[in-house]
Every structure is written in C-alpha cells, then in structure tokens.
Structure 1
Amino acid sequence: MQVTFLGTGTSQGVPMIGCHCPVCSSVDYRDKRLRVSVHVQTQGKSLIIDSGPDFRQQVLRARIDHLDALLFTHEHKDHTAGMDDIRAYNFKQQQDMPVYAEPRVLEQLRREYAYIFAEHKYPGVPKVATYPIVSDSDSFLVEGVEVHPIRALHYKLPVLGFRIDNFTYITDANHLSQESLDRVRGSEVIVLNALRHEQHISHFSLSEAVAILADLAPRVGYITHIGHQLGKHREVEATLPENIRLAYDGLQVTL
C-alpha cells in the first residue's frame, strides 16, 4: 500500500489569505498546505478520500492518472468542493465515478451539485455512481478493497474516518469513542487531525492528538489538518515523540 498526502491544511489552507505570520510567510515547502485529502493505492486500486477545493491541483501535482473511487468523510466544503473535477476521469476512463459517503452527505452533494444529479443532464457534466455508507460499524467493499468506517465527532457533527488494512485516516474530529479507538488499534500507520496547540471546538489540539496516538501506539502516527497557528513544520516536529510526525503535502508513505 502507498499513501500520498494530497493536502494537509485546514479549511482556509496555509498560507491563509491576508496573513503574513511567520508560518504563512515561510519558504519551507512543508508549510504550504492545501486542503486535506489523501490518495491510497492498494490491491491495484486508486482511491481518494475527500475532494476539496484544491482537488484538481492536487491530482495534477501527484500525477494521479487513474481513480477508481472517491470516499467522503463528511459534507463540509473544504472536503467536497472539488468533486466537479472528477469529470476528467469520466472522460478518460469512460465510466461513472463510484462515490461512497453516508446518506446525509450524499444528499448534501445532490443539493450542491444538482446539475450532476439532474434528470436531464447538461452534456459533459461529471457522472457518478453513489454508494451509501449505511453503517458505521460494518466494513464495506470499495472496488474489492475492504474499508472499515471509524465513527468520530466533529463538534456535534458525526463524521467518518476510514481504516484500510493497517492504515487509518481520521480528519476533522475532536472526539473518538472507546469503540472507535478499539477499531483503530493495531493500525501500523494512523493519521489524526490537530489544528493548533490550543483547544478547539471541533478539532483535536496537538497535545490531544499526541495523547491518542501514544495510547494507540502505531509504528508511526501522522498529524494532518494543520492550521497556521500550530507553528512552522520544522520547529513543531522537533518537539514530537519519535514515532509521531507532521504530515506535509506530497508526503508518501509505504506500508
């Protein structure tokens, strides 16, 4: 399995518009963060989790010429705003794009992308085949790849993380139940969000994320969905335990 971090930034990205703080002004490429998304290549399949507003730029940069399916963690725009750009894969692959999400999220996509789901479609619009994730406790198959949903809370909004084999990806969360933690435990690589040092209403802080990763004890844990308030990549990573790292755009991990 190979995992590529397409984006590791918060909803506004880093640098943030109009901000000239040391992080937003940094020349370190690791401090340039597009909106969160990850590419998973496993069992000969190419899967992407979340397609935010930077989706086109991300897949071009990562040279992802083929995509078998798109999964959504939840319906916020920084995770869904790039779905229109799957049309390039429709044209190239000559098939509808499988899209997996909870029913509530699929309904939101139908509202925001009404032209995709219209009875009489405009020529050239994206073509999707929707697959509702109806249980947060039962695994499901995505093009033959077994995916285990992981329930989390993003403030009061239920969201999903995903475990694929020994890789677990959880973003936009500030609460995981014991049941969810148990489903994650044993993963070789765990990705968890941490927005900043201070507590936040809907995201883990860095210390909270580090504590969870320390308990779960993966071979390596990665932090994603990082805001400019967290600090410079080089400086923050130097303070972390040996098996915990800050993810950055373009980072590739092989399991």
Structure 2
Amino acid sequence: MNYKEFSQEKLDNLIHIQDLFKKKFDIDGYENWFYDSESELLRLYNSDEDEIYFRYIPVGSYSQNKQTWMWSWFNENSIEKSKEKVLAVKEFGAKNQYEKLLEGTFTSDKFDAWEFTSICLDFLNGIGAYKVDSNDLDKFMVIMAVEDIDSKDVQLLKQKTVECVQHGYSRPAFVCQHLDCKTARGFQEAFDTYKGMELEEDDDFQAWCDECEKVRIEHGEWNEESESFAQIQLICENCYFELKEFNQKSN
C-alpha cells in the first residue's frame, strides 16, 4: 500500500471516530480551551461549572506563516513526555519508506497535519483529535481519555492557575494598574507573547502601558519608584490577551 492509500484510509477512520467523539462529549459546545504541557491535560470550558478535561498526546504543530509541519518528537521546546510515543509512527514510516513520517520538520499544509493526526490516532488508540490555535501556530493532539475533574492532576493544575470571574481557571498574568479595555494606553511586554504559548519555568506573562514604560526608562529599571507607579496586578491569561488586543489595535 502506498502512502496516499494508507493516509486516506486513516483519514476516513478519523472522520468516523471524530463524529462519535464530538457527539459523545459535545466538543463544539465549548467556547474556550486551555492546555497544560506538564500534566498533558486539555481543558475545554464555558465556565467553572461547564468544563471537561482530557488527557492528550501531542502529535505536532503546523506553522501558518512558514507553512511547515513539525512532529512533536522533533520539537526540543516541547516538554510533554508522551511525545515519545509518537516515535512508533516514525518507526512505521521507516519500515514502509513513508518519508513524511520520517522527517522532523518540512514544508507542508493543514491537510497533511490532519493526515498525520489521523495516523497517530490509529497507532495510539485515541478516542478523538483536537486542534488548538495559538497565534499562527496550530497544535494537533490525540485525545486519549476523559480525566476525572476530581483527579489529583486536575486539582494540581488548578493550583497552578488563577481563578477569574469571567474566564474561570487559567494561567496567571501580571499587568500595570492602568491597562483596561476602555482607553488604549499602549502595551509593553517583557517578551513577545501569543495565547497558548509554552512558558519557561520562571517566566510569566507581564505587560505595562506606555506611561509605565517612560517611568521605567527614567529610573533605568524596575525599582521601588517605577513599581509604585505601575502598581502591578494579577489577572488571568485570557484577560491579558484581551487587554493586549485592545491596547495594541486601538492605540
């Protein structure tokens, strides 16, 4: 069987399994998503009372800007331990000389990405697939099982997050007191960010307005005076990116 026939067979299987997955868990009924690479948990939610958790295995990512695919096992920045399980697909590709299953990263398209996900779904015996969109990067996952909301891993995940009245649990972020979605004041960041990005252990989402930036530069650094002017506040990741979008586009 050539690769085209093989991949089409897996895609047909994905369509069938995905239909069952969506119907059983009402996947399209959730407006928001959040995933944690360390625990390998995906949270879909509308509120804290309307949420569901899944355990996942990362397949890979597709860059919309570069139009390239990268397998999860090739991604050195990915911390998910289960990505090693995807190497079984690479080994299969080597035996059958399927080049797309061998190379770590290469020029590709979204159709390829779903092909690869369907192949991994079959190899890993998953219950469904999911794609999260982070800026220009699409991350593809095989969903392995539903995670009990009272499980230890879910509770540990919630301890690492902040609870927002509007968005429920998500990662913490820090902004100055002046940023809001009423008046655009500019948006200065500690480093370039996008929603869903993986952070280093010691990193946080941090931003401040243009006036705070002027004060910071006047003092040469963040110190007692500049920090007193900024009055940094704790918010959730979702609020952070709402502030970013408003203050950047409206400024």
Common fold: TM-score over 0.5: no
Normalising by structure 2, we get a TM-score of: 0.27
Structure 1 or 2, whichever has the larger Rg, is: 2
Instruction: Name the structure where helix makes up a greater proportion of residues.
Output: 2
